[in-house]
């Protein structure tokens, strides 16, 4: 009996059919993990501010109605815009969460956003 050892590479066509190919097919590697919730909320706050500025919505009340959240929750989200720009940037570029809980919780950010002095915000952010 003859035994042939060879690696096989399968390519999936648009209709779902698989074909054998001689060379491996390059595939896109999916990003590991998920974008942290704080990053998504920060991006949402920036987008909402832009919508208000451009006149797409009248105010935060209308935004809350569109997003199906309460007005107090909308205020909590928009208060992220009161953070110093470098803190906002740090939130936007948090590393992806692979498993478990996220290291930064929104409740940690609320007292920092309540302080209007950016220097004090930065000190609180560094000492979190």
126 vs 128: CA distance, rounded Å: 6
Q: Which is it for strands 18-21 and 9-12: parallel, antiparallel or unpaired?
A: antiparallel
Q: What is the pLDDT of residues 54-72, one digit of tens each?
A: 999 999 999 999 999 999 9
Could you tell me the pLDDT band of residue 27, with boundaries at 50, 70 and 90?
low
Q: What is the pLDDT of residues 6-19, one digit of tens each?
A: 787 888 888 888 88
6 vs 4: CA distance, rounded Å: 6
Domain boundaries defined on the chain:
37-126
Size of the chain in residues: 128
């Amino acid at each position: 009996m003859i035994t042939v050892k060879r690696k096989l590479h399968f390519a999936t066509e648009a209709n779902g059919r698989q074909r054998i190919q001689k060379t491996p097919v390059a595939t896109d590697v999916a990003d590991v993990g998920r974008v942290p919730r704080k990053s998504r909320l920060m991006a949402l706050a920036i987008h909402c501010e832009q919508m208000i500025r451009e006149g797409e919505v009248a105010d935060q009340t209308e935004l809350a109605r569109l997003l199906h959240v309460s007005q107090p929750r909308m205020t909590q989200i928009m208060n992220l815009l009161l953070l110093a720009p470098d803190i906002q940037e740090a939130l936007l570029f948090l590393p992806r969460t692979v498993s478990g809980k996220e290291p930064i919780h929104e409740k940690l950010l609320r007292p920092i956003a309540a302080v209007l002095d950016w220097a004090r915000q930065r000190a609180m952010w560094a000492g979190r």
